Amino acid sequence: MAIAARAGMTCREVEKLLDLFLDGELEARTMRTVALHVTRCEPCEALLQGLERLQDVVGDTIGDAVAEVDFARFWPSIAAEVDGVQRSWRGLGGRVRALARTPLVIAAAMAAALVVSAIALWREMPAIPPPPTVVNNQVRIDTLTSDAPAVALLSESATNTTVIWISEEGRGR
Amino acid sequence: MRAAARPLAAVFLGALLAAASAARAGGVAVTVGSVLATDGGQPEFDPRLVAMKPQFDSLFRYSSYRLMKQERRVLDWGQGASFDIPGGRYLVIAPKELRDSKVSMQVMLLEGGRPLVDTSVALRDHGVLLVGGPKQLEGVLIVAIGADTE
């Protein structure tokens, strides 16, 4: 009870929010409060781990069920549909051949072929490389707390990349 | 002249405010990558990490780096999210606001019931913060946290 009071939420309140916590649907402050409570309360942590396992099992079961579907059965019905479409196109063939004999259609076809060739040539041209982007990973750290025995901040000058480095080797020293 | 400039300034200010609120409304794409850094054996650099190679070479002295897991999620401002990290750890990230091209967020790395890191940071938009050190298999874990506003 004292643990729950320290974390700002009772175990009963936290239990109700664990589903939303796992789905990442909690408001930021509540998320943090639940996370802090769980790290300090063994029963709630166990409950969260149980929910995580349950989610994994449900995910695996759905994956297995999809894997077991026999897609080969679909092919006969798809082949029948394709056959029907092909028959309707055969009727169009004669009309298209008659149209192709008219000069206007021939000219339009040549123009279309020229446009397609121009687009193909344009796409073949080498792309202009984008200008090099300057990486700047500058970070401002407002607060930092840790349960680890030692924490160090490292920084790299070229890109201002910061590392929060946790060392567990200082334990007991 | 001044009277004519006033509506123009108002329009400009309005456009700026609209752009700022659009960025806020769009949320932030958070990418979390878990990298296993090891020493000894054949040196190896995961090609998926090539963009980070100069920083890794400058900051660390490990011989091999392998991306174990990567996850990208778009989060609303004020919405928290939990990312699974190898070794039964998880990372809670809650973006707060975008100000001066910096993404403010709360970052917590939790392991076995204790917060390894609980920090409030302001990271440059499109920037990356690294959290490293937890032991993982035969090496250490380096977690790269990136934030991109849309």
Cβ pair A28:B94 closer than 8 A: yes
Domain boundary among A101, A124, A147: A124
pLDDT at B148 (0 to 100): 93
Is residue B130 over pLDDT 70?
A: yes
Cα–Cα distance for residue pair A55/B72, rounded to 1 Å: 19
Cα–Cα distance for residue pair A117/A126, rounded to 1 Å: 16
pLDDT at A97 (0 to 100): 62
Average pLDDT in the B22-51 region?
Answer: 85
Cα–Cα distance for residue pair A66/A73, rounded to 1 Å: 14
Same domain, A76 and A64: no
Chain A residues touching residue B134 (CB < 8 angstroms): 166, 168
Tell me if B16 is assigned to some domain.
no
Cβ pair A158:B54 closer than 8 A: yes
Tell me if B143 is assigned to some domain.
yes
Same domain, A16 and A37: yes
Beta bridge partners of B86: none
Tell me if B54 is assigned to some domain.
yes
Tell me if B9 is assigned to some domain.
no
Give the model's confidence band at B8: pLDDT under 50 very low, under 70 low, under 90 confident, else very high.
very low
Return the minimum-mean-pLDDT range out of A36-50, A122-136, B13-27, B58-72: B13-27
Cα–Cα distance for residue pair A150/A168, rounded to 1 Å: 7
Cα–Cα distance for residue pair B132/B144, rounded to 1 Å: 8
Is residue A86 over pLDDT 80?
A: no
Tell me if A129 is assigned to some domain.
no
Same domain, A20 and A77: no
pLDDT at A98 (0 to 100): 62
User: A67 or B6: whose pLDDT is higher?
Assistant: A67
Instruction: Answer whether B23's CB lies under 8 Å from B31's CB.
Output: no
pLDDT at B15 (0 to 100): 43
Total domains in the fold of chain B? 1
Return the minimum-mean-pLDDT range out of A97-111, A151-165, B13-27, B120-134: B13-27
User: A69 or B112: whose pLDDT is higher?
Assistant: B112
A85 to A79, A80, A90: CA distances (angstroms): 10, 9, 9
Same domain, A53 and A105: no
Same domain, A113 and A81: yes
Chain B residues touching residue A166 (CB < 8 angstroms): 109, 116-117, 131-134
Give strand ranges (E) for B21-88. 28-38, 44-45, 64-75, 81-85
Q: Read off the tokens for B95.
A: 């973006």
Average pLDDT in the A147-162 region?
Answer: 88
pLDDT tens track for B63-113: 999 999 999 999 988 888 999 999 989 899 999 999 988 999 999 999 877
CA nearest to A137, candidates B132, B101, B94:
B101
User: B113 or A6: whose pLDDT is higher?
Assistant: B113
pLDDT at A45 (0 to 100): 82
Instruction: Answer whether B50's CB lies under 8 Å from B25's CB.
Output: no
Domain limits at B37? 27-149
Which of A45-49, A154-158, B70-74 has the highest average model confidence (pLDDT)? B70-74
Phi, psi of A11 (to 5 degrees): -60, -40
Is residue A4 over pLDDT 70?
A: no
pLDDT at A156 (0 to 100): 85
- What is the residue type of B137? L
Residues of B in CB contact (< 8 Å) with A are 54-55, 58-59, 73, 75, 78-82, 92, 94-96, 102, 104, 106, 108-110, 113-124, 127-135, 142
Tell me if A130 is assigned to some domain.
no
Radius of gyration of chain B, Cα coordinates, nearest whole angstrom? 20
Confidence check on the interface: ipTM exceeds 0.90, yes or no? no
- What is the residue type of A45? E
Total domains in the fold of chain A? 3
pLDDT tens track for A103-143: 776 777 788 887 777 777 666 665 665 555 677 888 999 99
CA nearest to B88, candidates B118, B117, B114, B70:
B114
Of chain B, the percentage scoring pLDDT greater than 70 comes to: 83
Cβ pair B119:A144 closer than 8 A: yes
Same domain, A9 and A54: yes
Give the model's confidence band at B31: pLDDT under 50 very low, under 70 low, under 90 confident, else very high.
very high
Return the minimum-mean-pLDDT range out of A1-5, A23-27, B21-25: A1-5
Is residue A18 over pLDDT 60?
A: yes
Instruction: Answer whether A112's CB lies under 8 Å from A127's CB.
Output: no
Domain limits at A143? 135-173
Which of A12-26, A73-87, B10-24, B84-98 has the highest average model confidence (pLDDT)? B84-98
